[in-house]
Structure formats: C-alpha cells, structure tokens
Amino acid sequence: MNVVAMPVFAPLFTPGTERVEVRWLTVEAPVDPAAVARCLPEGLGVPETPTVGLWIAEFIGAEFHSPDGVERRPDYLQGGVSLRCSGFGGGPDGAYAVETFVEGLNHGILGRELFGLPKKQASTVRLEERADSVAFAIVSALGEELVSGEASLSGDPGAAGTAPAPAWFDRHCTVKAIPSAEGTGYDVCKLVEIPWRLTADAPARSGAARFAWGESESDPLHLFAPTGPASARYGRAVLDIGFGRYLAEAVPPEPLGRPSWTSATGRRTRH
C-alpha cells in the first residue's frame, strides 16, 4: 500500500524523489555565532565558520518520482535561507534549512508534510539575470520584502564541475514538526536529513554580493545580519533531492517569527 498525502480521498501527491533543472544563485555571508546557535535544534552545532546561505532558483521542468509514476510541474521560482552547521553526530558540516519560499499558490504544498524543506508561499521570488550581475528578491505573501540585492559576477567561469552551491548544502537538515490534531504537541517532531546533489551543467560564475534583509515579525531574517562581505555563485545545474532519513527525535528551537496574521512591519535595513 502506498503512503499518500492528505486528503486521503484525493491525495495531492505521493512522497517521492525530485529531479529538476535549475538556474541557481547562492549568496553566502558570515554571521554572528549566537544568531546561528539560537536557531539550531539539539544535535546540530555551530561550525567553525558560521555562515548564512541565501539561495534563489528557477525550477525548470520539475519531476517528482514515486512508485505511482512521475508527476511534472510547471516552471516556478523558489528561494530559501539555510545556516551552516556542524554535522549530526560529529559528521561533516551541513545546512539547516530555516525557511523556504515558493512563488505563487500552486507549489507551496509540496514538501510540507511528508518530505522536502519547510516551505512558505511568497508573492514574489525574483531572479533577474543581467550581463554581469544577477538581481534577486523575495517578497512574502503579506507583501513584505524579505530580502533584495544584487550579485556581481566575474566574466570567467569557475573550474570545471563547480556547482552553484557550496558543498555543505549537500546535507540539508530540518525539523519536521507536524502539529497534533488534538491541538497540543506534535504528531511528528523529528530531525531529518534530506540529501541534495547539484550537478553543474557548466562551471558556475562567482563574485561579490550586496543584499538587504527586510525587517519582518513573521520572517525575522534580519537576525542573520552579515558580519563581513558576502560572496555569490551562479549557474545552471541539475538538482536531485532524495528521500530524507530521520536522525533523532527533536525538540524544536523556540520560534523566532510570529504567525503571519500578527505581522505589522515592513521596514528594511541595509548591510
């Protein structure tokens, strides 16, 4: 019997793996170790080089493979914020997914319950390629600009096989916290690792980046203010996302953002 997502009568999708072509930008910046520590669940630690990774990508021809076949989705834009962390059980550094944003209404459900990353819907995810730069932005469903900036890219591509994301992105962790239908606690609250693999179609280009976090009560990404210069890499690749594996029961860190309906600010700070 296959496991399906809700509603059981007419499920939206079955859990599976994903393969998709991407046009991908990653912006990395050093951050205060205390900002990382307050967000990580037990089992993940602050690495020697505390880093925030902002990624924005166009997903082109996404395919979700399951025992029932292949589900294909129209092209869409997605972005996310991840923190570099020391690996579970002393393993190599990985990434802890703080938030992921999907533009529009048609794709936000994927990954919420059974697999994938912690997703929220966004009104706009922008990735505008120019001659020697890439402009980017994420605007929340409430119309708050959560981040905006521009990456300046060198004319020379990187070494052969250089992917547009750092190696620590290959091991993405998150807390799958599904609230109980009884209104208290969680039916599932576990630390899960989700394997990624980005295979470059061509060597990624790199350069410096400037960006600004917006100030939002719902999505307080401004807590990850850079403590030094930001760098960027951009290119085209194929992204493969496999089934996750549960690492441990989790006690999620105290939420930093408030539910969306309490948000009242849209101010911005530039770094």
Give pLDDT tens digits for 214-262: 999 899 999 999 999 999 999 999 999 888 899 999 987 777 877 765 4
CB crowding 256-267: b at 16 or more within 10 Å, else e: ebeebeebeebe
CA 232 to each of CA 51, 140, 204: distance values in angstroms, whole numbers, following the listed order: 13, 23, 10
pTM over 0.75: yes
Give pLDDT tens digits for 54-67: 999 999 988 888 77
Span 141-155, mean pLDDT? 92
- The helix or strand, by DSSP H or E, that contains position 33, with its residue range, turns out to be helix 33-37
**In the CATH hierarchy, which top-level class contains the domain 17-170+197-242?**
mainly beta
Length of the chain measured in residues: 271
CA 85 to each of CA 49, 157, 261: distance values in angstroms, whole numbers, following the listed order: 9, 28, 31
- The helix or strand, by DSSP H or E, that contains position 37, with its residue range, turns out to be helix 33-37
Domain spans, the chain: 17-170+197-242
pLDDT at 158: 63
